[in-house]
Amino acid sequence: MLTTGGIVLTVLSTATATTTSHKHRMVHLIVDRVRVASTVSATELQLMHLLLLLLLLLHRLRMAMVVVVMMSLRSLMMMRLLRLILLEPLLLMLQMLLLLMHWLVLLRMVIEFVLLGVLPIP
């Protein structure tokens, strides 16, 4: 399955393709794979196609990066990518921290009960 991150990386690699025909083949391959294998909405697919066609007109990777950054500010797809890249690991770390704190509180309660004599040591 083609992920949004994979699509963006493929877009950037398409910008550095050597010949125009190779770039056109890459564009059609990406659009077809997105259409078949992904859950990308029609609006996002049109935006992706527009982005790919804009990248075909550019010959330098630096200019392609500028277009990607400009499009990412307005694109839901890029917002999803940023959420996946930045927020998901942060939320996972917060959940792990809460779980660790929960276990530390339970351990503290057990130690206090043992010291108070409420829980006998086996």
Q: If you average pLDDT over each of 2-6, 43-47, 93-97, 117-121, which comes out highest?
A: 93-97
Residue 109 to residue 106: CA distance in whole angstroms: 5
pLDDT of residue 1: 40
pLDDT digits (tens, 9 = 90+) for 53-65: 666 655 555 555 5
pLDDT at residue 2 is higher than 80: no
Tokens in use for 109?
């309660």
pTM more than 0.75: no
Cβ pair 51, 8 in contact under 8 A:
no
Residue 92 to residue 101: CA distance in whole angstroms: 14
- Portion of the chain with pLDDT greater than 90, in percent: 0
pLDDT at residue 51 is higher than 60: yes
Kindly indicate the confidence band of residue 15, based on its pLDDT and cuts at 50, 70 and 90: low
Better pLDDT: 117 or 45: 117
pLDDT at residue 98 is higher than 80: yes
